[in-house]
Amino acid sequence: MASKKEISLKDISKYIKDGDQVLVGGFGLSGCPLTIVDEIAKTDVKDLTIVSNNLGEPQKGLGKLLDNGQIKKAIGSYFTTHRGAVNAWNEGWLEIELLPQGTMAEGIRAAGAGIPAFYTPTGAGTKLSDNKEVREFDGKEYVLEKSIPGDVALIRAHKADEYGNLVYRKTQENFNTAMAMAGKIVIAEVDEIVPIGELNPEEIKTQHLFVDYLVKTRYEIEGGTFVERTK
Amino acid sequence: MASKKEISLKDISKYIKDGDQVLVGGFGLSGCPLTIVDEIAKTDVKDLTIVSNNLGEPQKGLGKLLDNGQIKKAIGSYFTTHRGAVNAWNEGWLEIELLPQGTMAEGIRAAGAGIPAFYTPTGAGTKLSDNKEVREFDGKEYVLEKSIPGDVALIRAHKADEYGNLVYRKTQENFNTAMAMAGKIVIAEVDEIVPIGELNPEEIKTQHLFVDYLVKTRYEIEGGTFVERTK
Amino acid sequence: MNAQNNAKTMRQDIAKRAADELGEGEVINLGVGIPTLIPEYLGDKHVFLHSENGLLGTGPAPEDGEINPDLINASKQPVTELPGSAIFDSALSFAMIRGGHVDTAVIGALQVDQTGELANWAVPGKDILGVGGAMDLVAGVQKVILTMTHTSKSGEAKIVESLTYPSSGYRKADVLITEKAVFTFKDNQMYLVEVADGVTVEEIGKTTAASFVVAL
Amino acid sequence: MNAQNNAKTMRQDIAKRAADELGEGEVINLGVGIPTLIPEYLGDKHVFLHSENGLLGTGPAPEDGEINPDLINASKQPVTELPGSAIFDSALSFAMIRGGHVDTAVIGALQVDQTGELANWAVPGKDILGVGGAMDLVAGVQKVILTMTHTSKSGEAKIVESLTYPSSGYRKADVLITEKAVFTFKDNQMYLVEVADGVTVEEIGKTTAASFVVAL
């Protein structure tokens, strides 16, 4: 049986509309759904709010969407990997919301876990808590942070089984599981879809109930880097 | 090399003192550190606040501590498995704090994750949110729940490696990982301590930085139940 | 559905009707009591059973010699795991429930009011010493199906105008299945959508202490 | 410690001294810059290196042919995994940091004040577009060790009475290591506990725009 969840690359754009808040996995290029992002870069979808740790690099990963002007706002922890993000922000057409990386990870998980808000010590007493509610617990200040849901989550894993259970390659997981939990629609890009029963129940990192669709990646590792397969 | 974290059963009592809040893993008897609990039942330690889903059964697991009168307060989601708990509460010598099971799990995880409090929809509009702060987010009511830390966490896993990384047997994990995160001192009861490198980095469920001490269990599975090894 | 006055058949009938409500491929959490009978009536329909203690893909009870006391469901009964199942911890398991990732919970109730608000964890005047995952399920899943006998053993109405038992939360049930009828709830209004063979709307009216719209 | 006026040696000296602060078996998070040099100076001491992106037990850079772009550290550099390492997701990784499970963070700073409050993520008047895990580390780990050059390249004091750069949070550093000196902080007071060979207390005073107690 083929996975009922597998879709073709051209179907991806059906699930993303103008103005969506889109969670995109990855820490740098590792764990970033490069094929899915490439497909979106080919479409006219625009005004996206992208939640991702960084915005890729020029013409790589999310950098393509930025270069195309498809992104209206970016929420993340580190934008200086792509000089274009800094420029776009200076030019005033890209809104940026900077979050401590741990607050971002926890906020995404919270959205997936039904928690609308939580208190964290991170950022208390800094500019990043300006305009945020601060509250004391046991004499220490904490910042109230809201959860970070996604209309869509685009994630990357190593293998899926036909139900959509996922496992990752080494540190590829990073934000992906939390984003799968937090996305209303979740599309996972994988190297391979294996038959039911091939993954051990204990090794599954992202359970199938979080995953709506699967696509096969066009990228493979070659010479220590991610290379697009030329058909 | 033997694990530096392994301690003998008689050393367990060194780490638990009168009045401690003690997190105890397990859903029923599965994942409950039966050997550690037995050792505590042999000591005079008293006035404990026990955080555990249930209080075991008469003369089994935490039931022993209850029967001995070593417990002052119990925080959990389901106490009717041990009639003694209900009686002790009626007699007025056992304080009980009832929490929805998901709130309990999330509160324990929060304590381990540096989150002092969070909002949850569970319990809003019920007696269990009496005297708790309620707040609206997007027009819906949520209850503020505090994190649930432990002076000590007593947990149960299947295998440890010599660093203290843990893996579980099937649904044995339940509250154990969250409790390992939330305990100031964490003692894990295991079937076996394996050499470094024998566990795959990806299969580890509780990472060694959460675990302080290891003890070997005296219980084994026989005839579909947990049986104490008679030396 | 047949309204025989036989407790066992009654429970089986309710479970059978509840099974019809479940969609192919859904993630389902089954409460104690009547809902545990549902798997017998699924036929060819494939659903994923979620157990609060950390299992998605719960299978039937094992053979006697195959019991693993570390492979249990939320009722602490030994179970098996089906191919494609996943195992995880309690915090993630309730994140699934509270976060809306479980499609449907089928649970019992002590009382339900005409808006769909339900009581399923405590009896007035009795010790309140157990809640388990009941409130998390009510607050979190996409669809709540209640299964219960239409009246108490002593014949008292369990479907009421407003709850006298402690509420399980603001969230309303979507469907209520008894041995006599099926109701749905929408915008705080209760609709009678099915009656069992041989049961009249009049009889439903007499045994139901709540207002409902007849929508057969 | 030797205060040569050579940037590379200076950084190595700081890293070497920082390595001495780490305890056997500790879980350590190393920031970018000088802290990345620390592993060279650990000798027989065994510590566990934690990477924010989800690795506990980070090993050295791989051989050229052995690079896996999906096995990286928080600086996005390819690494290896040591035996006994564990891999996990970002949410759990920061739970470890924020929850106090990482013993020590060794991080750089742009400025530190005499109470130990530090600034390590933004420069006044420049775009504030990156923070990464800096604030989580400052807020969460058990011990914060700062490594930095004693003054800026243009000779300006980086150890100041009160911060002019944006703060990284309320949490104070525990130890500050420069090429000239080692300071500790306790109860909002700064203590000079070591000077490098050939460096006088007077010189420290001149290059430090903050009050400190000499406790050599």
Hey, which CATH number is domain A9-217, 3.30.9.10, 3.40.1080.10, 3.30.70.100, 3.10.129.10? 3.40.1080.10
Residues in chain B: 231
Residue C53 per-residue DSSP state: T
Nearest to A169 by CA among B206, C76, B202: B202
The residue extents of the domains of chain D are 7-214
Please, are residues A188 and A164 in contact by the beta-carbon 8 Å criterion?
yes
- Helix B101-112 vs helix C90-98: angle between axes, to the nearest 10 degrees? 120
Task: Report which secondary-structure segment, H or E, holds C146.
Answer: strand C143-147
- Cβ separation C131–B120 shorter than 8 A: no
- Cβ separation B167–A202 shorter than 8 A: yes
Q: Using a CB-CB distance cutoff of 8 angstroms, which residues of chain B are in contact with residue D84?
A: 161-163, 165, 196-197, 199, 208
Chains B, D: CB contacts within 8 A come to 59
Task: Report which secondary-structure segment, H or E, holds B101.
Answer: helix B101-112
Q: Which of C55, C94, C95 sits opposite B101 (nearest CB)?
A: C94
Pick the residue of D89, D97, D127 with the most A CBs within 10 A to test the interface with A by mutation.
D89
- Cβ separation B117–A137 shorter than 8 A: yes
Nearest to C173 by CA among C110, C96, C93, C94: C110
Hey, how many other C-beta atoms are within 10 angstroms of the C-beta on A10?
Answer: 10
| Residue C72 phi, psi (nearest 5) | -130, 165
**Better-scored residue on pLDDT, C127 or D95:** D95
Helix (H, G, I), strand (E, B) or coil at A1: coil
Give the pLDDT of residue B80: 82
Nearest CA in chain B to C58: B171
- The yes-or-no verdict on residue D191 having pLDDT over 60 is yes
Give the pLDDT of residue B31: 98
Give the pLDDT of residue C2: 44
Nearest CA in chain A to B199: A203
What distance in Å separates the CA atoms of residue B52 and residue B129, rounded to the nearest whole number?
A: 20
Task: Report chain D's mean pLDDT, rounded to a whole number.
Answer: 95
Q: Using a CB-CB distance cutoff of 8 angstroms, which residues of chain A are in contact with residue D67?
A: 223-225
Mean pLDDT along residues D31-59: 96
Task: Report chain B's mean pLDDT, rounded to a whole number.
Answer: 96
The residue extents of the domains of chain A are 9-217
Q: Return the bridge partners of C48, or none.
A: C27
Give the pLDDT of residue A3: 81
- Cβ separation A112–C99 shorter than 8 A: yes
- The yes-or-no verdict on residue D125 having pLDDT over 90 is no
Distances (CA, A) of A170 to A81, A157, C148: 22, 10, 48
Give the pLDDT of residue C5: 54
* From C52, C63, C156, C161, the catalytic residue: C52
What distance in Å separates the CA atoms of residue D21 and residue A102, rounded to the nearest whole number?
A: 26
DSSP states along D22-88: PPTT-EEEE-SSGGGGGGGG-TT---EEEETTTEEEEEPPPPGGG--TTSB-TTS-B-EEEEEEEE-
Nearest to C47 by CA among C26, C65, C32, C68: C26
**Better-scored residue on pLDDT, D1 or B54:** B54
Give every residue of chain A whose pLDDT is below 70, as ranges: 1-2, 231
Give the pLDDT of residue A122: 98
Please, are residues C207 and C184 in contact by the beta-carbon 8 Å criterion?
no
* Torsion on CA atoms B129, B133, B134, B136, rounded to nearest 10: -160
Give the pLDDT of residue B128: 96
Mean pLDDT along residues C129-147: 96
Strands, E assignment, C37-142 = 48-51, 55-59, 80-87, 104-107, 111-113, 118-119
Q: Using a CB-CB distance cutoff of 8 angstroms, which residues of chain A are in contact with residue C88?
A: 204, 207
Residue A30 per-residue DSSP state: B
- The yes-or-no verdict on residue D214 having pLDDT over 80 is yes
% of chain D residues with pLDDT over 70: 98
Contact C72/B at CB under 8 A: yes
- The yes-or-no verdict on residue B2 having pLDDT over 80 is no
Superfamily of D7-214 according to CATH? Glutaconate Coenzyme A-transferase (3.40.1080.10)
Nearest to D98 by CA among B148, B113, B180: B113
Q: pLDDT per residue over B154-172, tens digit each?
A: 999 999 999 999 999 999 9
Q: pLDDT per residue over C61-87, tens digit each?
A: 999 999 999 999 999 999 999 999 999
Nearest CA in chain C to A211: C101
- Cβ separation A116–B137 shorter than 8 A: yes
Place of tokens 């876990």: A113
Contacts (Cβ under 8 Å, ≥6 apart) of D132: A77, A78, A100, A101, D52, D74, D121
Give the pLDDT of residue A2: 65
Mean pLDDT along residues D155-162: 97
Helix (H, G, I), strand (E, B) or coil at B181: helix
Please, are residues C13 and C196 in contact by the beta-carbon 8 Å criterion?
yes
What distance in Å separates the CA atoms of residue D80 and residue D62, rounded to the nearest whole number?
A: 6
Q: pLDDT per residue over B61-105, tens digit each?
A: 999 999 999 999 999 999 887 888 989 999 999 999 999 999 999
- The yes-or-no verdict on residue C4 having pLDDT over 90 is no
Burial class (CB in 10 A: 0-12, 13-18, 19+), D4: middle
Give the pLDDT of residue A80: 82
- The yes-or-no verdict on residue D4 having pLDDT over 70 is no
* Torsion on CA atoms D97, D99, D103, D104, rounded to nearest 10: 40
In one-letter notation, the amino acid at residue C65 is G
